[in-house]
C-alpha cells in the first residue's frame, strides 16, 4: 500500500487550515450524528457514531477498507436504505431535523444533499442532458434558464472549457476524470447545501485527481463537503477536519492538521504511519 | 530450477522432463487440433446452408408464378380469388390480414409486456422475480394451437357477448390472443435490457432526490431503449410468422377490408389453406404458395434486420 511509506511528519498539511480554527465557533452544525448504530441484517456495521459536521467545511473520512466509511456517508442521504435488511438506531440531525425519522421525506433530503460516487456514473445521455437532469425533474422547464444552469454548473465543476463545444455529445465519450466532473456538475445543478463524495478520485489518474482536489477546495466556499477517501495525503491536502474510523467505530475526530501531526489515539497513529491498513 | 532442492519429497521426479516427454506424444493431438475447427465449421454452416436452401426453393418456384402473374399485379392486387373460374392473385388482402393481426397483437403486448418488465426489473424483490420470470416464460412455451382454440372457443365468444357485430371468425380475437402469446417475449427481453442497466446510474438519479418512478422513466428506460425496441421488433416478427392462431380463429375470407370484426386471412394462413387443399403441382395456385411464402420471408427478414439495426444504432454504452 502506497501510504506505508508515509509517516506523520512527512504529511504536509496546507496552510489554509490554520485559519479555520479561529472560525469554528461561528460555523453552523449541518449534520449532528448521535449514537448512530447500523446493521446490515446481522452485521453490525456502524457502532455508536457521534459526529458533528460544520457548514462550509471539508470533512474527510478515512480508515481501512470495510470500516464503514461508505456505509456512514450513505446514511447521511439515506441511500443506504436501498440495501434490503438495513436497520438503524440513534439519530442524525440535518439542520435540526432527524433524517432517520420515518416522517422525513428522502426526496427532499436528497435534493438538499448531493452525492458523488466512487465510479463516475453519468447517465447515458448528452452532457447537457446530464446536467439539466436534476433541474428538469424538479420542474424547471424554461430552456433559457436551463441553459444558464448548465453553463453555471459546468463552470462550477471546472469543466466548462473542456466541454462547451460538445454539450450534445454523449457523456460516455469523456475521460473518467471528465465524467466525474460532469457528475459533480450534475450535483451542483440543483444547488444542494451539502455534497457527499465517496472516494471520488479512487478510479481516476493523478492529474484528474489533482483537478478534482482543486475543485473541492473551491466548492467549500459555497458547500459543505463530506468526503470519504482511501488516500491519507488527499485527506491532509483538502480537508479541515478528519474522521478516522476503524471496524465501524469512530476512533478519532479532529482538525486535520492535528489528527495527522499529533494523533491522540494509538490506533490513529498506527494507521497514519502505515503500520496497518 | 525445477529441482526440488533440499526436500526429499518426490525428489526423483523432474517436472520439466516429464512435460517435455509428454509434448512428444502430442503429435496426434496436433492433428485433432486442426480437425476439430473444421468439424465445428461444418456443423455451424448447417443453419446457413438451410437458409440458402430455403431461399433457393422459394425463389426458383416463385419464378414460375411470376411468369404467369406480373409481379406488379401481385403486389397491388386487392382481389384474391385463387379457386375461381377467373382466378385473381392479389396479395393485398393477405398483407392486410397479416399487418392487422400483428398490429393488434403488438398493441396488446407492448404496454403489458413493458409494464411487466418494469415491475420485474425495478420493483419485484429478487425472490419474487425468481418465481415470476420462469412462470412468464412458461406462457411462451404453450403450443400455438392451444392459443388458437383459446381464441376461437373462449375469446371470440367473450368479445361477441359484448360486441355482437363481431363475426364468428374475425381478426380481432386472434390478434389479441397473439398479443398474449408474445407478452412473455417482450417482458423477458425488455427485463433483461433493463436489468443490465448498471445500478450506479439508478443511484446517481435517486441521489438527486428523484422518486423510483421518475428514475425508471427518465433514466432506466431510455438507457435500455435499444433492448426494449429490439424486443418489440422481434415480437412483431414472431406475430407476422404466427400461423395456427389466425388459421383457426380468423377463418379464410380473402376480403380486402379494414373491418376488425370480419374474417381476414394472413399470409401464413393462406399457405396452410392452399398446401392443405389439393393444389395440383405445377398450377398457378400451387406456385402462388411460393410467392406468398417468399413475401413472408422477406417481411420477417426485414423485421429481424430492423431489430439488429435498432439495437446497434441506439446501443447505450455504459
Ligand atoms: N450492501 C451491503 N450488504 C451487506 N453488508 C454490507 C454492504 N455494504 C457494506 N457491507 C458491510 O459493511 C461493512 C462496512 O462496509 P463499507 O461501508 O462499504 O466500508 P468502507 O466503505 O469503509 O470500505 C463491511 O463489513 C461490509 O461487509
Ligand atoms: Mg467504500
Chain B residues lying within 8 Å of A194, measured CB to CB: none
Query: What residue ranges do the domains of chain B occupy?
Result: 15-56, 81-315
pLDDT confidence of residue B311: 80
A42 lines ligand 1 (CB under 6 A): no
Decide if the complex's ipTM is over 0.85: yes
pLDDT of residue B10: 60
Residue A230: its pLDDT value, please? 87
pLDDT in tens, chain B (318 residues): 444 444 556 667 788 888 888 887 777 777 888 899 999 999 999 999 999 999 999 999 999 999 999 999 999 999 999 888 888 999 999 999 999 999 999 999 999 999 999 999 999 998 999 999 888 888 888 999 999 999 999 999 999 999 999 999 999 999 999 999 999 999 999 999 999 999 999 999 999 999 999 999 999 999 999 999 999 999 999 999 999 999 999 988 998 999 999 999 999 999 999 988 878 888 899 999 999 999 999 999 998 898 888 888 776 666
Q: What is the 3-class SS of chain B, one letter each residue?
A: CCCCCCCCCCCCCCHHHHHHHHHHCCHHHHHHHHHHHHHHHHHHHHHHHHHHHHHHHHHHHHHHHHHHCCHHHHHHCCCEECCCCCCEECCHHHHHHHHHHHHHHHHHHHHHHHHHHHHHHHHCCHHHHHHHHHHHHHHHHCCHHHHHHHHHHHHHHHHHHHCCCCCCCCCHHHHHHHHHHHHHHHHHHHHHHHHCCCHHHHHHHHCCCCCHHHHHHHHHHHHCHHHHHHHHHHHHHHHHHCCHHHHHHCCCCCCCCCCCCCCCCCHHHHHHHHHHCCCCCCCHHHHHHHHHHHHHHHHHHHHHHHHHHHHHHCCCCC
Q: Span A194-200, mean pLDDT?
A: 96
Q: In B, residues 112-131, which contact A (CB 8 Å cutoff)?
A: 125
Domains and CATH numbers, chain A: 25-272 (3.40.50.300)
What is the Å distance from ligand 2's center to A207 Cα? 22
pLDDT attached to residue A7:
43
Minimal Cα–Cα distance from A161 to chain B, Å?
24
Share of chain A above pLDDT 70, in %: 90
Look at ligand 1, atom 12, and give the residue with the nearest C-alpha.
A45
| Segment A113-124 mean pLDDT | 96
The answer to whether the Cβ–Cβ distance between B210 and A137 falls below 8 Å is yes
CATH architecture of B81-315: Orthogonal Bundle (1.10)
Amino acid at each position: 500500500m502506497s501510504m506505508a511509506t508515509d509517516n506523520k511528519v512527512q504529511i504536509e498539511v496546507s496552510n489554509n487550515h490554520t485559519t479555520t480554527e479561529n472560525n469554528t465557533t461561528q460555523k453552523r452544525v449541518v449534520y449532528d450524528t448521535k449514537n448512530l448504530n447500523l446493521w446490515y441484517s446481522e452485521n453490525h456495521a456502524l457502532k455508536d457514531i457521534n459526529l458533528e459536521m460544520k457548514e462550509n467545511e471539508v470533512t474527510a473520512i478515512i480508515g481501512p477498507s470495510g470500516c464503514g466509511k461508505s456505509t456512514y456517508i450513505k446514511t447521511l442521504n439515506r441511500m443506504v436504505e436501498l440495501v434490503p435488511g438495513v436497520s438503524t438506531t440513534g439519530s442524525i440531525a440535518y439542520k435540526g431535523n432527524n433524517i432517520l425519522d420515518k416522517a422525513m421525506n428522502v426526496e427532499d433530503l436528497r435534493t438538499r444533499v448531493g452525492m458523488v460516487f466512487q465510479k463516475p456514473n453519468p447517465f447515458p445521455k448528452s452532457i447537457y442532458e446530464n446536467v439539466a437532469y436534476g433541474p428538469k425533474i424538479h420542474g424547471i422547464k424554461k430552456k433559457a434558464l436551463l441553459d444558464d444552469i448548465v453553463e453555471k454548473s459546468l463552470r462550477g465543476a471546472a469543466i466548462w472549457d473542456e466541454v462547451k463545444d460538445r454539450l450534445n455529445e454523449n457523456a460516455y465519450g469523456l475521460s473518467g476524470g471528465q465524467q466525474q466532473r460532469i457528475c459533480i456538475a450534475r450535483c451542483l445543478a440543483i444547488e444542494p447545501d451539502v455534497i457527499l463524495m465517496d472516494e471520488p478520485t479512487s478510479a481516476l489518474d493523478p492529474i484528474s485527481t489533482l483537478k478534482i482536489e482543486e475543485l473541492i477546495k473551491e466548492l467549500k466556499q459555497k458547500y459543505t463537503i463530506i468526503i470519504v477517501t482511501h488516500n491519507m495525503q488527499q485527506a491532509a491536502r483538502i480537508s479541515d477536519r478528519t474522521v478516522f474510523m476503524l471496524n465501524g467505530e469512530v476512533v478519532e475526530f479532529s482538525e486535520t492538521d492535528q489528527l495527522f501531526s499529533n494523533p491522540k489515539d494509538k490506533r490513529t497513529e498506527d494507521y497514519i504511519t502505515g503500520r496497518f491498513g | 530450477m525445477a529441482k526440488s532442492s533440499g526436500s526429499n519429497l518426490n525428489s526423483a521426479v523432474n517436472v520439466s522432463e516429464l512435460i517435455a516427454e509428454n509434448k512428444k506424444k502430442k503429435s496426434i493431438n496436433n492433428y485433432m487440433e486442426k480437425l476439430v475447427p473444421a468439424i465445428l465449421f461444418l456443423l455451424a454452416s448447417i443453419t446457413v446452408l438451410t437458409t440458402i436452401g430455403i431461399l433457393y426453393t422459394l425463389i426458383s418456384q416463385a419464378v414460375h408464378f411470376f411468369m404467369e402473374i406480373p409481379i406488379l399485379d401481385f403486389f397491388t392486387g386487392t382481389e384474391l380469388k385463387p379457386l375461381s373460374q377467373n382466378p385473381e392473385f392479389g396479395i393485398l388482402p393477405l398483407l392486410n390480414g397479416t399487418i392487422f393481426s400483428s398490429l393488434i397483437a403488438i398493441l396488446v403486448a407492448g404496454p403489458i409486456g413493458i409494464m411487466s418488465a418494469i415491475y420485474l426489473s425495478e420493483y419485484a424483490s429478487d425472490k419474487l422475480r425468481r418465481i415470476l420470470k420462469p412462470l412468464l416464460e412458461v406462457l411462451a412455451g404453450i403450443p400455438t394451437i392451444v392459443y388458437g382454440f383459446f381464441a376461437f372457443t373462449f375469446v371470440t365468444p367473450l368479445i361477441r357477448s359484448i360486441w355482437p357485430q363481431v363475426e364468428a371468425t374475425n381478426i380481432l380475437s386472434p390478434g389479441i390472443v397473439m398479443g398474449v402469446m408474445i407478452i412473455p417475449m417482450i417482458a423477458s427481453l425488455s427485463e433483461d435490457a433493463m436489468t443490465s442497466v448498471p445500478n450506479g446510474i439508478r443511484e446517481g438519479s435517486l441521489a438527486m432526490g428523484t422518486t423510483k418512478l421518475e428514475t425508471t422513466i427518465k433514466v432506466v428506460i431510455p438507457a435500455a431503449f435499444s433492448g426494449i425496441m429490439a424486443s418489440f421488433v422481434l415480437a412483431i416478427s414472431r406475430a407476422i410468422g404466427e400461423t395456427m392462431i389466425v388459421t383457426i380463429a380468423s377463418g379464410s375470407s380473402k376480403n380486402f377490408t379494414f373491418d376488425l370484426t370480419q374474417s381476414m386471412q394472413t399470409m401464413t394462413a393462406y399457405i396452410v389453406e392452399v398446401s392443405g387443399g389439393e393444389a395440383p403441382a405445377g398450377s398457378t395456385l400451387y406456385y402462388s404458395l411460393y410467392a406468398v411464402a417468399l413475401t413472408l420471408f422477406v417481411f420477417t427478414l426485414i423485421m429481424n434486420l430492423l431489430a439488429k439495426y435498432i439495437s446497434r444504432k441506439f446501443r447505450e454504452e455504459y
